[in-house]
Structure 1
Amino acid sequence: MVRPYTITRGRTAPARDDLTLITVLTTVEDPRDEHGAPVRPGRLQPEHRRILERCRRPAAVAEVAADLDLAVSVTKILLADLVGQGLLAARAPITVAWAAGGIDPSLLAAVRDGLRRL
Structure 2
Amino acid sequence: MKHWTEDLDDDGDEPLVRPYTITGGRTTAGRDDLTLITLITAQSSSGTDTSAERHALQPEHRTVLRMCGRRPVAVAEIAAELDLPVSVTKILISDLIDAGRVSARPPLAFAQNGALPDMTLLEAVRDGLRQL
**Given the two structures, how large is their TM-score scaled by the length of structure 1?**
0.72
RMSD: 2.0
Q: Distance in 2 between matches of 1:64 and 1:75?
A: 7
2:44 to 29, 40, 56: 29
Q: Higher relative contact order at CA 8 Å, sep ≥6: structure 1 or structure 2? A: 1
4+ long deviations beyond 4 Å: 38-42
Report how far residue 94 of structure 1 moved: 2.3
Aligned positions of 1:1-118 closer than 5 A: 1-30=16-45, 41=53, 43-56=56-69, 57-100=71-114
Q: 5+ residue gaps in structure 2? A: 1-15, 116-132
Seq. identity, %: 55
Q: Distance in 2 between matches of 1:9 and 1:87?
A: 19
Contact 1:15 1:81 in 2 (8 A): no
Amino acid at match of 2:24: R
SS at match of 1:64: helix
Q: Distance in 2 between matches of 1:100 and 1:51?
A: 27
SS at match of 1:11: coil
Q: Distance in 2 between matches of 1:63 and 1:75?
A: 10
Q: 5+ residue gaps in structure 1? A: 32-37, 102-118
Q: Distance in 1 between matches of 2:104 and 2:64?
A: 13
Contact 1:25 1:90 in 2 (8 A): yes
Q: Distance in 1 between matches of 2:79 and 2:59?
A: 14
SS at match of 1:25: strand
Q: Mark the structure with the bigger radius of gyration.
A: 2
